[in-house]
Each structure stands twice: as structure tokens, then as C-alpha cells.
């Protein structure tokens, strides 16, 4: 099956994906550091942005491999697209990577497998390939706490990488200091699976969504739950993401299905009250992301569609119908918030260019064109009789 426009396939269903913090993974060569033109040399030899992708066919003998792949944006492509040949590929034998979280300071990639989690670290580049990216399995004792904990449906490092949180299919929530792996929060719960979790950017709060019940918010300094965010009648919470507002305050977004509609709810992070709610789609939401600059939201659906919205008014800015032929499994914005990565069970990874949004999520050129159009309409209304007289009626 050929990938759809803008998509690339790597031979296995993709369950998890993330952009890589290359500045913390790839180190400049000694010759570049010693050169007077180090900045120019570094700029000219900078590698393209890269992503990590994980997935596979599972434990059965389907013939579909389980693997982790590192892929780069194709520098020769006219529009953003991943290169067909991966930078690196690691087979994971009979263990499929279901979830991943990439450490923001380059410590490695934590993958959730069916029986537990494993850390893979970056190997330093050697010789004539300074931009080569290689992962190797790490067997540190600290990760013994996550070796046999079963499938983790949510895994995440905090923004600075000092805290790690995992939430299990069995409902067990675990939060650790990183890399010491000292326990910060532990909440066993065998009745409700953890569906998603999100750190606030200041590493003060952790929001946790479960398969039933309210969304719970934890204070990471006191290790106490500080809020239970209730559902309205018929709501089924899905994903949760903290985001920064222009005034540097925080906002929490939660997706929910209510009847036939997928919606996004916003919450004040001081009073923990709802500040907004909007129905977005009639397709079930299967993936959700917030851009690093806080101006954009993105949803993926079980029908394979992807939409990008302004975070201020939740107005849909871009929709790619059938971006994938299967369920959208992961969405992730690039660090500059201009490119959206989406992946799917159909084995494709796609990048969509968003452009450079303004603080309200509307592109600058769109604003200029809207103003010009408004002026033209006003002029025409004021000179309607003169314009009609010029027509050959």
C-alpha cells in the first residue's frame, strides 16, 4: 500500500512517536568547536529534524516486525516530508513498543512494552558520521522498578526531565524523580486504567485521566491530589495536556467524547473550574497535542483525519481528511510549533506544515488578507451606485 501524500511508511503499525531534542543528543565535532567560524560551520552542517517511531505486529507470528526507527525530514523535499530511508532501526524482537517518552535533555528514550518499560540511550557518534543517531538498550538497576509492571498506557518525562510518570493498564500510577527513581507519588488502582497524563511546564502539577471517574490533578511538591475535575453527563474523558498562555499562566485542556461529538474542555489551573468547552468533531478523538508555544491544538481521529485549531478560540484552522487510512495513534508538534507529526495503525508517519501562527492561532497573511477583504467590501457598499453605473447592463 503506497503512503498517502505527505506520509511515509516504515513497514509496521506505528503506536508511538516523538520529535528528538537533537541539540542534546548530537554534540559538535572538536574541529567545529575550535574553529573561528564554528557558528557558520555548525549552521551549514546541522542535521535535519528527526523523529523516533515505535510499533510493530505484536507477539504473534504475523511477519510484521517490532521495531524502533529514527527518521529525518527529507532536506530535498519541496514540502516537509520524512525520508523513506530511516537514519537508524532497532528490532525489538517479540516485544512491541506501545508508548514512548523521549527525555528532553538527551538521556534517552523510555519505551513501554507489554511487560514493562525499558530505557534506550543514545550512543555518541563516531568517525565520519557526526550526525549518526544510534540507540542501545540500558539495563540500569534504577529501571528495575519498571521492569515487570505490565503495560503502561501513559509514560512521560516532565519538561525539564527531572520527573518521570507512568500509568498502567492495571490502573497503577507511578511518579519518580529522574534519574534517581525515588518515588514521588504511587497510587495503586485496579479498577480504572490510566488513559493519559500531563505535566505542567513549571513541574508543579500532574494531571491524570483514567478510564472512568474525574480527571485528577496532583501537586508534585506535596505529593497530594489537589483537584478532581468532574465530568458532565455523558462525558468520557480522553487526553489531557497542560499549556502556557501568553501571560505565562497555565491552562489545562481535556478531550472528551459526549454522545456523537468529540469536544475539548479548558480548565483554570488556579480555581480548577471549567473556562470553556467546544464540540470539534463527530469522529472519536484518538490523539491529541498542544504546540510548545501554546497557540495551537491538534486532534487525530479513529477515521484517520487530523485537525489543527487555535488554542484561544478553538477555531479549526487546518483539516486533513483521511490523512491516514487507519486510526491516528500519535500527534506531536515540532519544537518551533510549525510542523505536526502524525502516525497511524496504517504504518504511516506524516508531517504537516502549519506555518508561523500568531498568538491567537491565525497566520499573519490570513489576517492581512481578511483586513484587505473587509476594506474592499466596505468600499463597495459605500460606492454601490457608482459601481453599478459602470457595469454594461
Of 39-48, 121-130, 162-171, 316-325, least confident by mean pLDDT is 39-48
Do 302 and 330 belong together in one domain?
yes
Q: How far is CA 59 from CA 33, 36, 93, 327, in A?
A: 46, 53, 9, 21
Q: What's the CA gap between 54 and 63, in Å, rounded?
A: 16
One domain, residues 233 and 283: yes
Check whether residue 316 and residue 373 sit in a common domain: no
* 81 within some domain: yes
The enclosing domain of 21 has a CATH number of 2.130.10.10
Q: Is residue 268 part of a domain?
A: yes
Residues 373 and 290 in one domain: no
Quote the number of domains for the chain: 2
107 and 82 both lie in a single domain:
yes
Domain-embedded: residue 185: yes
- Do 315 and 375 share a domain, yes or no? no
Task: Return the residue matching grid coordinates 525530514.
Answer: 73
For the segment 249-267, the average pLDDT, to the nearest whole number, is 96
Domain assignment of residue 2, yes or no: no
What pLDDT does 7 receive?
86
**Tens-digit pLDDT profile for residues 114-169:** 999 999 999 876 655 656 788 887 766 668 899 999 999 999 999 999 999 999 99
Q: What does the angle CA 50 – CA 20 – CA 125 come to, to the nearest 5 degrees?
A: 80
In a 3-state reduction of DSSP, which class is residue 211? coil
CA angle at 185 for the pair 183 and 188, rounded to the nearest 5°: 110
- Domain membership of residue 324 (yes or no) is yes
Q: Are residues 218 and 245 in the same domain?
A: yes
Mean pLDDT of the chain: 86
pLDDT of 385: 56
Cell triple for 268: 483554570
My answer on whether 207 and 325 are in the same domain is yes
Q: How far is CA 125 from CA 8, 29, 162, 187, 197, in A?
A: 26, 10, 25, 40, 33
pTM over 0.75: yes
**Same domain (yes/no): 53, 145:** yes
Tell me if 24 is assigned to some domain: yes
Q: What is the rounded average pLDDT of the residues 190-215?
A: 95
Question: Residue 229 pLDDT > 70, yes or no?
Answer: yes
75 and 114 together in one domain: yes
What is the extent of the structural domain holding 216?
7-363
* Predicted pLDDT at 363: 41
1 lies in some domain: no
One domain, residues 257 and 278: yes
Q: How far apart are CA 209 and CA 243, in angstroms?
A: 16
Same domain, 328 and 378: no
Q: pLDDT tens digit string along 59-70?
A: 765 789 999 999
- Cell representation of residue 251: 491552562
Amino acid at each position: 500500500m503506497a503512503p498517502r501524500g505527505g506520509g511515509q511508511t516504515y513497514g509496521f503499525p506505528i503506536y508511538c512517536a516523538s520529535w528528538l531534542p537533537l541539540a542534546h543528543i548530537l554534540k559538535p565535532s572538536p574541529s567545529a568547536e575550535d574553529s573561528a567560524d564554528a557558528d557558520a560551520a555548525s549552521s551549514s552542517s546541522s542535521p535535519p529534524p528527526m523523529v523516533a517511531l515505535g510499533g510493530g505486529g505484536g507477539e504473534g507470528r504475523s511477519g510484521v516486525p517490532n521495531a524502533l526507527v529514527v527518521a529525518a525530514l527529507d532536506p530535498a523535499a519541496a514540502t516537509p516530508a520524512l525520508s523513506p530511508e530511516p537514519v537508524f532501526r532497532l528490532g525489538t524482537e517479540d516485544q512491541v513498543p506501545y508508548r514512548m517518552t523521549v527525555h528532553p535533555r538527551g538521556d534517552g528514550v523510555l519505551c513501554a512494552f507489554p511487560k514493562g518499560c525499558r530505557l534506550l540511550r543514545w550512543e555518541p557518534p563516531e568517525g565520519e558520521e557526526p550526525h549518526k543517531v544510534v540507540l542501545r538498550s540500558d539495563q540500569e538497576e534504577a529501571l528495575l522498578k519498571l521492569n515487570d509492571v505490565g503495560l503502561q498506557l501513559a509514560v512521560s518525562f516532565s519538561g525539564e526531565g527531572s520527573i518521570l510518570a507512568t500509568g498502567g493498564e492495571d490502573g497503577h500510577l507511578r511518579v519518580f524523580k529522574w534519574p534517581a527513581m525515588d518515588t514521588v507519588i504511587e497510587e495503586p488502582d485496579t479498577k480504572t486504567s490510566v488513559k493519559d497524563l500531563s505535566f505542567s511546564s513549571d513541574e508543579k502539577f500532574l494531571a491524570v485521566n483514567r478510564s472512568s471517574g474525574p480527571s485528577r490533578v496532583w501537586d508534585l511538591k506535596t505529593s497530594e491530589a489537589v483537584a478532581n475535575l468532574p465530568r458532565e453527563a455523558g462525558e468520557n474523558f480522553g487526553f489531557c495536556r497542560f499549556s502556557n498562555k501568553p501571560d505565562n499562566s497555565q491552562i489545562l485542556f481535556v478531550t472528551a467524547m459526549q454522545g456523537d461529538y468529540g469536544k475539548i474542555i479548558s480548565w483554570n489551573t488556579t480555581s480548577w473550574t471549567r473556562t470553556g468547552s467546544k464540540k470539534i468533531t463527530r469522529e472519536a478523538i484518538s490523539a491529541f497535542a498542544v504546540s510548545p508555544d501554546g497557540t495551537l491544538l491538534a486532534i487525530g481521529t479513529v477515521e484517520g483525519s487530523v485537525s489543527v485549531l487555535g488554542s484561544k478560540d478553538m477555531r479549526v484552522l487546518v483539516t486533513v481528511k483521511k490523512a491516514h487510512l487507519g486510526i491516528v495513534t500519535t500527534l506531536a508538534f515540532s519544537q518551533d510549533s510549525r510542523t505536526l507529526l502524525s502516525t497511524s495503525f496504517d504504518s504511516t508517519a506524516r508531517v504537516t506544515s502549519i506555518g508561523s501562527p500568531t498568538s491567537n492561532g491565525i497566520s499573519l497573511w490570513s489576517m492581512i488578507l481578511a483586513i484587505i477583504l473587509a476594506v474592499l467590501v466596505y468600499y463597495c457598499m459605500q460606492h454601490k451606485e457608482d459601481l453599478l453605473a459602470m457595469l454594461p447592463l
